[in-house]
Structures are given as C-alpha cells and as structure tokens.
C-alpha cells in the first residue's frame, strides 16, 4: 500500500514459452497451436505475463543430432 492506503498492484513475473516439435509432419498438425495455447493457459493459471517472444525449435529432431547444427 502507498501513503494514501491505496493498494499498489504487484508486477506479474514474465514467462517465455519454448515450443518444439521434431518432425515436419507435426508442423502440418496442430502442435504449434496446442503448445501456444498451453503456454497461455499456464501463464494465466499461475499469474504470469506471457512474453510475446517465444523460443522455438520447429521440426528439428534432437534424436538425430540436427539440433546441434541447426537449432535456434
């Protein structure tokens, strides 16, 4: 509270989403949309602001090791 007794809103912590899938077939599906929605839902449920910046590895397989060469 400030000197006048007014509640000062707390600044919500900021969260960043990390979205990944490992095949081009998943890119054609709803993986990106599903994970984006899940990140938004998590932020709301946990009182976080979700950044407009999202970290993404789309269609890059970690199993094959291509992420070490191409990853973002």
Tens digit of pLDDT for each residue in 45-72? Answer: 999 999 999 998 887 766 665 545 555 4
Domain count for the chain, please give it: 1
Query: Taking the alpha carbons of 45, 47, 52, 56 in that order, is the dihedral positive or negative?
Result: negative
Domain span at 36 = 14-60
In a domain? residue 19:
yes
In a domain? residue 9:
no
Number of other residues whose CB lies within 10 A of the CB of residue 34: 13
- State how far the Cα of 60 lies from the Cα of 69, in Å rounded to an integer: 10
Query: 23-52 pLDDT, tens per residue?
Result: 777 766 788 899 999 999 999 999 999 999
The set of catalytic residues is 22
| Mean pLDDT score across all residues of the chain | 80
Closest to 21 measured CA to CA, from 7, 6, 8, 36: 36
In a domain? residue 6:
no
Return the pLDDT at 22. 82
């Amino acid at each position: 509270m400030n000197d006048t007794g007014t509640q000062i809103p707390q600044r919500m912590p900021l969260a960043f989403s990390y979205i990944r899938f490992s095949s081009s077939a998943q890119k054609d599906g709803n993986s990106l949309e599903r994970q984006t929605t899940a990140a938004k839902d998590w932020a709301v449920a946990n009182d976080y602001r979700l950044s407009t910046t999202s970290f993404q590895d789309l269609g890059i397989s970690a199993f094959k090791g291509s992420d070490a060469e191409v990853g973002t």
